[in-house]
Structure 1
Amino acid sequence: MPASLKFKTVITDYGKQRLVAAMSPGGTKLTLTQMAVGDGGGNPTNPDTTSTALVNEAWRAAVNSVTVDKSHQNTIIVELLIPAEVGGFWVREAGIYDEFNKLVAICSLPASEKPLLEQGSGRAQTVRMTLVISDLSTINITIDSTTIIATNDYVDNSLKEHEKSRNHPDATLTDKGFVQLSSATGSTDETKAATPKAVKAAMDNANKRQPGNENLTALSSLAGQPDKLPYFTNKGAMSLAEFAEFMRTMLSKTDAASVLEYLGLRETINLAAGALQKDQNGADIPDKKQFVRTIGAVTSNTITLGESGWFKIATVVMPQATSTAVIKLYGGAGFNTGSSEQGAISELVLRAGNGSPAGITATLWRRSPAAANEVAWVNTSGDTYDIYIN
């Protein structure tokens, strides 16, 4: 550095080591945290890279701001603001410290008195140090936001930046730009943007409405048709049927019993209540013997008391694939002839399929006297036989 420079800023050897270490892979960034000013012991100072402290420190605080010089992208400006209530010393030197409280850079300054308010004069004073850094990414700038004070320059620059940020044209449907907000919900204006209030009003209105549906659309087209009953013919398609007086009367009924009465189904239901139930398999038949006679499953003949000779008592179908029929005969003398099971009883057993020639055989058991004596049969056709007793 030329010897003719009276005031200068230098990075200390420690500061250089931190910057080199920060540029290495995985290195820790250098963090600038504080600045200090001193009076140089009452004399001008000559900063040196070997310096580790100010000659005579007078006051220290967190940095007020750190900015990048817009004209020189590798230059940072570190600023310290000394408030008006601080003073009672001269400023001839300044230094920047890292997070370990070690001196990173030091500078010499023109002598400037910083008086106390009690001395009859006071002012806020800004001290700035400029550092040229080859790689700004090696520096991690930490600023205590509780101590930042806006300088006049900062305020002026901020106002200029703010003014530039608003110097834009209005937005259109094709170009970006500023847009005015509006809470109107009935406007067709295309130059304003809806506020959350307007969006909420639109959503509240939409939520009260029936969602669009092709079936509802088809139904709405039939609204107002008198004496018509709509019905769907396909998805999204409907037609109308005549709403006759018969249907109108039925729909006016207030309970199921009234509807059944109107339709004339009461007697049908009553008859169904006394019908045989399929799942009972005949268990609910009151007189099962009479039932089988009624349907022809069992036949019976009556022979008058005192008659004799051959009498036809039954006609049977006896397939030759081994079939059997049993005929019971009641009557004649007995303990109590008024009760059939106590009268004279004979059992006639018929069997088919016993070989050749085809036909049937019959066996007569007399369980009590004075009943049938003989049995005979006549083949009338195929497997059908008339049965006779003597």
Structure 2
Amino acid sequence: MWILLPGDLMADYYSVITNRGKELEAEALAGGSRIVLTKFVVGDSNGKQLKPDPAQTQLVNETFRGDISGLAASPEQSSQLMATLVLPPEVGGFTVREVGLLTDAGELYAVANCPDIDKPAGGISVNMQFRLAVSDTSDITLNVSTGDGLFLRIDQDLKEIKVRGETAQKVARESIGAVASTSIGFNNGSGWYKIATVVMPQSTSTAVIKLYGGAGYNVGYFEQAAISELVLRAGNGSPVGITATLWRRSPAAANEVAWINTSGDTYDIYINISQHACWLIAQYDYTGNANVTLRSTPEYSATQPASSTNGKTYTLYNSLMPPPDSYPVGAAIAWPSDATPAGYVLMQGQTFDKSAYPLLAIAYPSGVIPDMRGWMIKGKPASGRAVLSQEQDGNKSHTHTARAQDTDLGTKTTSSFDYGTKSTNPTGGHVHNAYGHMDSSGSRSGTDFALADGGPGATSRDTSNSGVHAHTVYIGGHEHTVYIGPHGHVVIVDADGNAETTVKNIAFNYIVRLA
């Protein structure tokens, strides 16, 4: 918080040089010395407003003492001295009604009264500007500590900084942590705009340009509240040039960046952005050895300028600009757990709400997630099958040839043996019949034996029963041979294998993203 002290306030509040201060001025003028101001003091005047008195050598009731942060002559009035005083956040619990400036010897040089300034303990710092009319500002100097007490002197509208040029303005911004900003408009439709001219020495320098807002103006089109960041870097001169990188955070942000080296270390910077990118805010900053001149009304070209060099565009992924899906919604993903991650489900043949998950419905219009338990995925053949159709397990149709190897064992000899002499059974007794015939002439035929009757005719007789006997058979040692020629055999192949056709595998679940 900034407070202006006497000099710009009403006549009831003013500053005076103390009697001792006037003595010091006279001594400085006579002896060619200088008055060195180092400290300031504030007090509460014991709870009431008092007029400053030149005879004072101290405040009525001092509450805080600190280092003077800045001291300079006013650019409007050369005889007016301006001192910057800072009450840091950690002090407070009092009201400021009186202020004084001290020399390096601790003597009160000037004193002023002011309207009540409440300084709470903690939370904020209070910056005060003490203005004092002096006879000759050249006789007064400031001895400033180099610690936290060093603050930039500031006027009401920063005119005194502005007139000192861009370098002074940059130092001022850096001193208070500010970044230069301006409004900028890309009013000619989609295309290329020369947004800035930069000077970037090849001894390594950096410049940044940040755009707030993007293409679009309709209420509810949130993408137009875009952020685009350009980061420019110069190298070591080998090769000569710059590296230009655009970082996008929204679809309505700038799309591309390019640059042209116009001369030496000077480059024109171009961006490509879509139409309706009006009234954007641009912030920029650069290192001490560089410079950025931003174009509030950039030059327009429908096409990329000739001879320009392309930079690189990167997308900062976020909920507005999510990264491209590594797995599109609907793709089956192998997952090594029974617990599914958020936003995914196991593929078990269940139905889903197509209105709640429209992207999943594009993959599965039936509203049913395939049951992948126990199933493998196979690339769809060129013809003959529909996507998501099932095929049962089985072997490809084929034939077998089988044979037992042909063999020829030739002629084999059995083992030798000797049964010795064997007897036959004592049977076989029998009789024979014999007959004879004699015709009338007495001629005979048949067995010649004496017939019982000597007359002509036939007669027969049986021989006596005789012939019961036994035989012996000799079966000596001998061998047999068996012929086994070439031949084949019938082969029976027994069933073997698993219950289904498979390969070596590890069991995973299949999951699918819900979207």
Structures share fold, TM-score greater than 0.5? no
Q: Which has the higher strand share?
A: 2
- Scaled by the length of structure 1, the TM-score of the pair is 0.40
Q: Comparing both structures, which one devotes a greater share of its residues to helix?
A: 1
Q: Identify the structure with bigger relative contact order (alpha carbons < 8 Å, sequence gap 6+).
A: 2
